[in-house]
Amino acid sequence: MSNSGYSISSNVTSPRSTRCSSPSTPSGILSPVGPGGSDSQLQWEERQGQWLRRRRLDGAINRVPMGFYQKVWKILQKCHGLSIDGYVLPSSTTREMTEGEIKFAVHVESVLNHVPQPEYRQLLVEAVMVLTLVADMDVDNIGGIILIDRIVHMANDLFLQDQRTHGANEYFLEKDPATGICHFFYDSAPSGSYGTMTYLSKAVVTYLQDFLPQSTCLMQ
């Protein structure tokens, strides 16, 4: 594959609908409205938790995109392992199991199952999906142990920066105390200019910039 003009974000496809996240305006920027008199968290859950609820459901039933485990196997061949919530999936696994082996899928699943919050688990799955796009690039090595949690938090920080730049009220940018992820990042659609996959793509490029072709890094 040619390195010229290659962009990870341009190759991201969402496994879900491309509808905008409900807490966002059509442009994808949060409306700077302050909290009301009633329980703000309950109001947010009831009115605007569409994608958050979907991620919680998907995480609770261990749902992953089609071909997920095979893609994880391929990316493990280009690094020393994937760290997910402190648990490492080593690259040596690919020498012990084939990419289509049920045993491998179960092993990956066991690592993901260490994540207690289902919505956070799903963001980790999305981050891995973006990372696996690197497996299709002409890059032989992308480093040592890749910290998937760090990529998710980098994406979350980029999201917060954009929202603050556009004047979003800090009330809307409240973070989940358990994970440090903004509630509205959890509740953002995967696709779109302000979707989670866009920020995860930028985070992956930044995280792996020393290993990716220079033209790819410039595209972020």
Distance CA 32, CA 169 (A): 5
Cβ(72)–Cβ(37) under 8 Å? Answer: no
The pLDDT, as a whole number, for residue 211 is 75
Nearest Cα residue to 82 out of 134, 13, 7, 11: 134
pLDDT at 47: 53
115, amino acid identity: V
Give the residue among 208, 211, 43, 204 at the shortest CA–CA distance from 123: 204
Angle, vertex CA 198, rays to CA 47 and CA 113, nearest 5 = 70
Q: Please, are residues 109 and 62 in contact by the beta-carbon 8 Å criterion?
A: yes
Which pLDDT score is estimated for 42?
A: 52
Model pTM score: 0.76
- Environment class of 99 (CB within 10 Å of its CB; exposed 0-12, middle 13-18, buried 19+): middle
Q: What is the pLDDT of residue 8?
A: 53
Every domain of the chain and the residues it spans: 46-210
- Digit-by-digit pLDDT tens for the chain (220 residues) are 444 444 454 444 444 433 333 333 333 444 444 444 445 455 544 557 889 999 999 999 999 999 999 999 999 999 999 999 999 999 999 999 999 999 999 999 999 999 999 999 999 999 999 998 876 777 788 888 999 999 999 999 999 999 988 888 888 788 999 999 999 999 999 988 889 999 999 999 999 887 776 644 444 4
